[in-house]
Amino acid sequence: MLAPHNSVRLVPRHGAPARASVVGVLDRTTYPQLRDRLLEFAVDSEDGVVIDIERLELRDRALIKVFALVALRVGDWPALPFALVTGRPEQRAALAASHVPVYPDAAAAEAALTCPARQRAVRLLDRSPRTSARARAFVRGVCAEWMVPELAEDAELVATELVENTLRHTGSAPRLRLELRRGTLSVEVADDSARPAVLREELDLADAGLGLRMIAKVAKRWGSSRSGAGGKTVWALLAR
């Protein structure tokens, strides 16, 4: 049964890769809601994303681009394969030029997904005067272990700024995560605040951190992504 007019829902399913069904009406009013929910769902996933859209009512074919946008973002960070499932010919025709993989059923989608090989290290930090120093030591050790010492200096800078932002602007304990995949190192800090990270207008070198502007200079790409639990993850990608 479809959701009421002008509403759209994402219904998660248990298992790996992460699966969900989209139910409702996709129009210009629900487009932003669906986009944000799909991105939040991907943040909490680890082994790929499979979305069943068979029960989605499409009011405007042009809005099908939401799935290409999400697939592009998800493929960049958190670097997960993204696939759609539908047996409806009109939906498959609308998606033909989107470059998003579409499969007739979930089994076929899951069999086709290939997750990128990755290494992952996580550290939950406390809130203390030594938090940033502990974050830098963790980053140095992991970069040495993964044999990417050339990324250590920039990774330490990014981790310091993201941790300092968490300590200054939230009441959370920073959750620092490093991932290495396909020659790209991601530095991520999660917190419990839904307030997105933004570039400061002024760069004050007297501050404890050098600002997100410095991260923008050294990182290939960075962003702030909300999680389904209500918090956010701020991430930056460093290329070898």
Q: State how far the alpha carbon of 221 is from the alpha carbons of 60, 67, 88, 113, in Å.
A: 32, 21, 36, 25
| Same-domain check for residues 66 and 159 | no
Q: How far apart are CA 234 and CA 226, in angstroms?
A: 9
Q: Find the CATH number of the domain harbouring 216.
A: 3.30.565.10
**Which one of 112, 145, 173 terminates a domain?**
112
pLDDT classification of 208: cutoffs 50, 70, 90: very low
The yes-or-no verdict on residue 65 having pLDDT over 80 is yes
| Same-domain check for residues 105 and 26 | yes
| Same-domain check for residues 40 and 92 | yes
pTM exceeds 0.85 for this model: no
| Same-domain check for residues 87 and 137 | no
Q: What is the DSSP string of 168-224?
A: HH-SSPPEEEEEEETTEEEEEEEES--SPP---SS--TTSSS--HHHHHHH-SEEEE
Looking at per-residue confidence, does 60 or 140 come out higher? 140
Tokens of 187: 């530095």
| Same-domain check for residues 158 and 91 | no
pLDDT of residue 46: 81
Chain segment 175-190, per-residue pLDDT in tens: 999 999 988 999 999 9
The yes-or-no verdict on residue 206 having pLDDT over 60 is no
Give how many domains the chain has, as a whole number.
2
The whole domain housing 142 covers 119-239
pLDDT of residue 85: 97
| Same-domain check for residues 182 and 229 | yes
| Same-domain check for residues 84 and 167 | no
pLDDT of residue 164: 93
pLDDT classification of 16: cutoffs 50, 70, 90: confident
